[in-house]
């Protein structure tokens, strides 16, 4: 059995940042695999391996998050039915077709999603009335759109659907966070199931990545208790912005 210590190291870094910032980590793992892993190992990972590992990480992180927060689990079942299930379906179907798209296109989609998460967070100070007034239509359509985009890049999509549900649909922050764990499991399941046929390409790296994420997550969470949440949020947004711009620059130039 081949051991990948560099992958474990990347997992520790991804887990540390995830625990530090208090997020699932999909927005962190992919940039590290694309930008950092080749520098440390001298090996560039194929895009199908990167998206596969991202889907594994998303599913695992969502399960852990749900286990930790199940005592306070008070989901909005309307959002689960009308948003999460369509998102999972689109995520699954997009995952099946991801191999038809080029690496440049998939990285561009990821960069755009990262930038959109920041735009939605800062540009929309109040819910969008047209979305709120017709949730039976707007929630499924939004879920389908985000699921299709996240499925291409192997993401559960927490970094984008949380800002969308809170800023655009007006979901209360506490309920959105409580609901997000189950949405993450449902969405990440679609991404992972869609990649079962190519699992042999990334399964060998998965154990090291997940173990590293667990270790790093505990370290990051312990440090986050000592830091101010406002500063952590600013640092996270800077990280997302820089990674998205770097990936976009690689694709376009």
The whole-number pLDDT of residue 70 equals: 58
The whole-number pLDDT of residue 143 equals: 95
pLDDT by residue (tens digit) across 171-185?
887 677 667 777 878
The whole-number pLDDT of residue 72 equals: 59
The whole-number pLDDT of residue 141 equals: 97
Distance CA 18, CA 184 (A): 15
Task: Read off φ and ψ for residue 179, nearest 5 degrees.
Answer: -75, -30
The residues near 37 (Cβ < 8 Å, ≥ 6 apart) are: 6, 7, 10, 43, 45
* DSSP secondary structure, 165-213, as one string: IIIIT---HHHHHHHHHHHHHHHHHHHHHTTGGGGGGTHHHHHHHHHHH
| Residues in the chain, pLDDT under 50 | none
User: Which residue has tokens 């370290």?
Assistant: 219
The whole-number pLDDT of residue 68 equals: 60
pLDDT by residue (tens digit) across 226-251?
877 677 778 878 888 988 998 888 88
């Amino acid at each position: 059995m081949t051991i990948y210590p560099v992958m474990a190291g990347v997992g520790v870094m991804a887990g540390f940042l995830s625990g530090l910032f208090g997020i699932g980590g999909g927005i962190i793992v992919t940039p590290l695999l694309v930008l950092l892993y080749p520098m440390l190992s001298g090996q560039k990972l194929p895009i199908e391996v990167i998206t596969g590992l991202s889907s594994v990480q998303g599913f695992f992180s969502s399960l852990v998050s749900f286990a930790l927060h199940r005592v306070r689990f008070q989901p909005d079942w309307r959002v689960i039915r009308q948003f999460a299930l369509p998102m999972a379906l689109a995520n699954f179907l997009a995952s099946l077709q991801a191999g038809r798209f080029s690496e440049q296109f998939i990285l561009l989609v990821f960069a755009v999603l990262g930038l959109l998460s920041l735009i939605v967070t800062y540009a929309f100070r109040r819910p969008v009335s047209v979305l709120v007034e017709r949730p039976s239509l707007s929630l499924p359509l939004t879920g389908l759109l985000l699921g299709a985009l996240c499925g291409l890049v192997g993401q559960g999509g927490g970094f984008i659907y949380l800002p969308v549900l809170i800023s655009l649909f007006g979901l209360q922050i506490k309920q959105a966070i409580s609901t997000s764990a189950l949405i993450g499991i449902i969405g990440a399941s679609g991404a992972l199931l869609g990649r079962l046929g190519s699992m042999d390409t990334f399964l060998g790296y998965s154990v090291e990545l997940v173990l590293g994420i667990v270790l790093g997550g505990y370290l990051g969470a312990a440090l986050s208790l000592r830091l101010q949440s406002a500063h952590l949020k600013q640092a996270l947004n800077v990280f997302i912005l820089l990674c998205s711009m770097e990936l976009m620059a690689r694709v376009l130039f």
